[in-house]
Homo-oligomer: A and B are copies of this chain.
Amino acid sequence: MRQSNLFFTTKREVPAGEVSKNAILLERGGYVQKTLAGAYSYLPLGLLVIRKIGNIVREEMNKLPRTSEVQMTILQPRELWEETGRWDDAGMKEIMYRVGDDNSAGLGASHEENVTDLFRHLFSSYKELPMAAYQINTKFRKEARAKSGLLRGREFLMKDLYSFHASEEDLDTYYEYAAAAYMQVYERMGLKAIRTEASGGVFSKQHSDEFQIICEVGEDDIYLNATGDLAWNKEVIDGEDDPKLLEFSGGEIRKASAVEAGNIFRLGTKYTAAMNAQVSGENGERIPVYMGCYGIGVSRLMGILVEIFGSLGENNRGAKIVWPESVAPVQCHILDLLNDGTAEQLYTHLSNLGVDVLLDDRSDKTAGEKFADADLIGAPHRIVVSKRSLEAGGLEYSLWQKEDAKILSSEDVFALFKKTSPQ
């Protein structure tokens, strides 16, 4: 991609009204543009990142047994939500947008009713179970305060997975597979997630699990042991003397702020019972169907990545994002400071090798402006083509915005990408 051709620009100033780090950096980097509080439009590079995050999630979900990708409607008919009593539920009323002249539909804040309706249309026998379906789709929630950028939005992208089982044991088995898939998702984008015991809510006596990432702007407080492999949300802990903490921690307990990057729930039969979504059992009798639900905020992950891997700098200088390679919009950013055709050749050659390259081909920008933009954009590999680099015998190459750029020949650069390229 040529930078001059893209429908985007970076910004020098902190956008008016933005207070969260991820929103500031993503808008300054030309990744998103705020359209209204809590709702961001994705510009070309932002769409590439969100799609890469979505594809990592998709690949891990597709490995789960008997799990299909679907896409449910955003419009939610009132009748479905009346079946479960959630249409008039006070908490749901607070967050669900209603639409239509007669308010006869809602906008999906969650899809338990919708997916259970699909399930009962499609399946009728225990022999067909387990079955699971997920989607990556836009969700809507009336957030009173939407000031955390992509961490908490009114319109956001979410992966929601729902599984259906003929027994509680089968649900428990799938639940653990899903938990393992979640850990894979975070690991693949360079995030250290902590599986954290949380309340089961109204659905289940069993606990639910959250996947928490330690982060100072996180809205959750968690307690974790020294190795970080056992953790509890504050909501399930009865003060710092809770015997649970003492029993499992070996004495060393830390408290930390964390942001929830996913959660998984055993819903049991709440929705399937209310919506009459039973199946026939071995002897033809109607048997209950046990359900689990599993959510990951895809656009929230983009915000979390910037909270973790971004830096605001000081006095508007030094702002940068350092994307992990798996989700970076491009692998390589070429800064052409010479405009003599050398960078163009390199761009063509690397593109032909299958490397995703962004070429800063703008002729009306200073070197300083190009470096500042490249810091904000944050591609893992950077190559500068300048008079100085050519005089020093080649191209200036740096990785992850580290200071120690090296001078490499074109051949060295090609060899590098032959090694790092996934092909």
Contacts and interface: CB of A to CB of B under 8 A. Distances in A.
Contacts of A66: 5
How many copies of this chain sit in the oligomeric assembly?
Answer: 2
Question: Counting chain B CB atoms within 10 Å of each CB, which of A6, A65, A364 scores highest?
Answer: A6
A251 to B, nearest CB: 47
A8 B41 contact: no
Interface string A67-101: 11111111111001000000000000000011111
B71 A42 contact: yes
A75 B99 CA distance: 12
A140 B155 CA distance: 15
Given A100-B142, A131-B7, A364-B127, A36 B70 contact: no
Contacts of A98: 99
A71 B154 contact: no
A271 to B, nearest CB: 16
Contact of A121 (B33, B44, B72): B33
A73 B139 CA distance: 11
Contacts of A121: 33
A68 B5 contact: yes
A224 interface: no
A35 B133 contact: no
Contacts of A97: 99-100
Contacts of A133: 7, 44
Contacts of A364: 127
Contacts of A39: 73, 75
Interface residues of A, number: 56
A74 B138 contact: yes
A122 B68 contact: no
A36 B105 contact: yes
Contacts of A42: 70-72
Contact of A35 (B6, B101, B117): B117
A123 interface: yes
B122 A7 contact: yes
A272 to B, nearest CB: 15
26 contacts: A4-B128, A7-B70, A7-B118, A30-B122, A33-B122, A35-B75, A35-B114, A35-B117, A36-B73, A36-B105, A41-B71, A41-B72, A41-B73, A41-B118, A42-B70, A43-B118, A44-B70, A47-B69, A50-B71, A74-B140, A74-B155, A97-B99, A97-B100, A99-B99, A99-B140, A101-B142
Given A8-B122, A74-B74, 12 more contacts: A5-B68, A7-B70, A7-B118, A7-B133, A9-B122, A35-B73, A35-B75, A42-B70, A47-B69, A74-B138, A100-B142, A107-B107
